[in-house]
Amino acid sequence: MSYLPHTDADRAAMLQVIGVDSVDDLFTTIPADLRTCVLDMAPGIPESELAPKVTALANANRTYGSRSFLGAGCYQIYVPAAVRALTARSEFATSYTPYQAEVSQGTLQHIFEFQTAICELTALEVANASMYDGPSALAEGAFLAARQTRRDRIVISAAVHPEAADVLRTYSSGPGLTVDDAAIDPVTGRTLPPALEELDGAAALVVQQPNFFGVVEDLAPLAEAAHAAGALLVVSQSLLAAGVLSPPGEEGADVAVGDVQPIGNPPQFGGPSAGFLACRDRFIRQLPGRLVGQTLDSDGRVCFTLTLQAREQHIRREKATSNICSNQALAALAATIHLALLGPVGLRELGEVCVTRAHSLYDRLTGMAGFEPAFGGTFFHEFALRVTGGAEPFAARMRRLGVDPGVPLGRFRPEWSDLLLVAVTEANSPTDLLAYLDAAHEVMGPRTTPGEGGRR
């Protein structure tokens, strides 16, 4: 067995040291009734058989490369080779949580750098070492607000990703928090600042920037509405927009959360990536998860260590701010490295190329029969179209032409079955945009009139 070093002679010698005759004697503390179990699995196979078996499964998937326009919280962005090379280093990949600081400075320092980068991108004062993903970070951000304000009601915009809202509802079912929706303007697609009474007793108003439909929210009036009611503003923020849009912290947000994907992390069918959570300094005792701090070692060298652990489960047990233990450190490292490779100018240009290409496709598509913009508000790099004949039939026909044209939103709500959410990123070249338009013409027909689209 290739991962097990012992020979039978080793085992025999070790059993002798222990003072038993056989391996079975090591398991006699398990009641005999239980030891009759059989592990009903096929026998192992050599690596030379495993590799083609798993590769065949990978090949049984179809990817559309740069002709994919799927987004809705998971985006294709080129990941530089240096990111993979560095995160694959086994000193990073095969280490545990950095509890022993003296032999974990590599991990501790890169987490400290991640915390700094997230503070810079959110314009908030403190960020933790990472959460599982964006939606769970959103739920934890709302819980932080509930602890901080000692209130038990969360108001979440109807333009937050439906899965993130579902996660918030699942988390809230435990302690019994109430979750209510804040309405959006059906014309612009922006969240309407809730009236004072709508936020009565609310710990937080939760919004997404840009929102689920790709529309850029006007955060300042939302912050004002939240603060007037004594609630915190929690913003779920896209890092793709972080170089271009004003950061939540400068628009009045108290907590910013989000997912580092697509920075440094490919889609991977939705995971792993890393969530982030940043907040104002004054909420620090309520922050969930690990925090790395800078200090000095006994020789006076600058070093890093896990700190303020009195918030965490392994110290405070049931009084902890969260039960989170393992986080997503390696995915956070990938993001930190990618951000360092991009720099502030690269991050801004990345956002800008997403914006201009998305608007270019939007302008051409909405000029075609069969497509109507779902909302009129300014969008970033993702937009919702109302597709004549339904989004999924259109998407299925586009896929046959080699273009995955966007996420049909009927998968989230039946009443959204006409809506297609189209994401454009730097991965989609101008040629890919033309391919999209050509395919759309072929599917919808260049001369279709409204009401007949989708049939040829």
Partner 1 sequence: MSARVSVEPSGRGTVVEPLIFDKSRPGHRAAAIEAPGVETATAAELLAGAALRQRPPAIPELAEPEVVRHYTRLSHMNHAVDLGFYPLGSCTMKYNPKINDELAALPGFTWLHPYQAEADVQGILELMWELEQALLAVTGMCRASLQPAAGAHGELVGILMIRAYHRDHGGAERDTIIVPDSAHGTNLATAKMAGYRVVELPSSKRGLVDLGTLAEALSERTAAVMLTNPNTLGLFEDDILEITRLAHEAGALVYYDGANLNAIMGKARPGDMGMDVVHMNLHKTFSTPHGGGGPGAGPVAVCARLEPYLPTPLVERRDAPGADADGPAGAGFHLVGDHPSSIGRVRGFYGNVGVLVRAYAYMMRLGGNGLLRASEDAVLNANYLRVRLHDTYDVPFDRMCMHEFVASASRQKHTTGVTARDIAKRLLDFGMHSPTVYFPLNVPEAIMIEPTETESRDTLDSFVDAMLRIDRESREDAAIVLEAPHVTPVRRPDETLAAREPVLRWKPAAESPEIS
3-state secondary structure of 355: helix
318 counts as binding partner 1 under rule CB under 8 A: yes
* Among 47-55, 227-235, 368-376, 437-445, the segment contacting partner 1 (CB under 8 A): 47-55
Ramachandran bin of 244, using left for φ above 0, alpha for ψ from -120 to 50, beta for the remaining angles? alpha
On the CB side of 44, how many CA atoms lie within 13 Å of its CA? 6
178 counts as binding partner 1 under rule CB under 8 A: no
The least CB distance from residue 15 to partner 1, in Å, is 7
Q: Which is nearer to partner 1, 37 or 447 (CB)?
A: 37
Site for partner 1 in 395-434 (CB under 8 A): 395-396, 399, 404, 407, 411, 426, 429-430, 433
* Among 87-95, 179-187, 196-204, 439-447, the segment contacting partner 1 (CB under 8 A): 87-95
Report whether 46 contacts 3 (CB < 8 A).
no
Size of the site for partner 1 (CB under 8 A): 210
The least CB distance from residue 273 to partner 1, in Å, is 8
The least CB distance from residue 348 to partner 1, in Å, is 7
The least CB distance from residue 275 to partner 1, in Å, is 9
| Separation between Cα atoms, residue 261 and residue 282, nearest integer Å | 28
376 counts as binding partner 1 under rule CB under 8 A: no
- In single-letter form, the type of residue at position 15 comes to L
Nearest Cα to Cα of residue 188 among 214, 208, 163:
214
Residues 6+ apart with CB under 8 A from 222: 191, 193, 205, 207, 233, 252
61 phi, psi to nearest 5 deg: -95, 150
Site for partner 1 in 236-295 (CB under 8 A): 242-247, 250-251, 259, 266-272, 274, 284, 290-295
Report whether 380 contacts 354 (CB < 8 A).
yes
Site for partner 1 in 10-29 (CB under 8 A): 10-11, 13-15, 17-20, 23, 25-29
Q: Where are the beta strands (DSSP E) in 322-430?
A: 371-373, 382-387, 407-408, 419-423
Q: Which is nearer to partner 1, 196 or 434 (CB)?
A: 434
Ramachandran bin of 369, using left for φ above 0, alpha for ψ from -120 to 50, beta for the remaining angles? beta
Going residue by residue from 319 to 358, which x/- string records binding to partner 1, judged by CB under 8 A? xx-xxxxxxxxxx-x--xxxxxxxxxxxxxxxxxx-xxx-
Site for partner 1 in 105-144 (CB under 8 A): 105-107, 109-113, 115-117, 119-121, 125-127, 129-130, 132-136
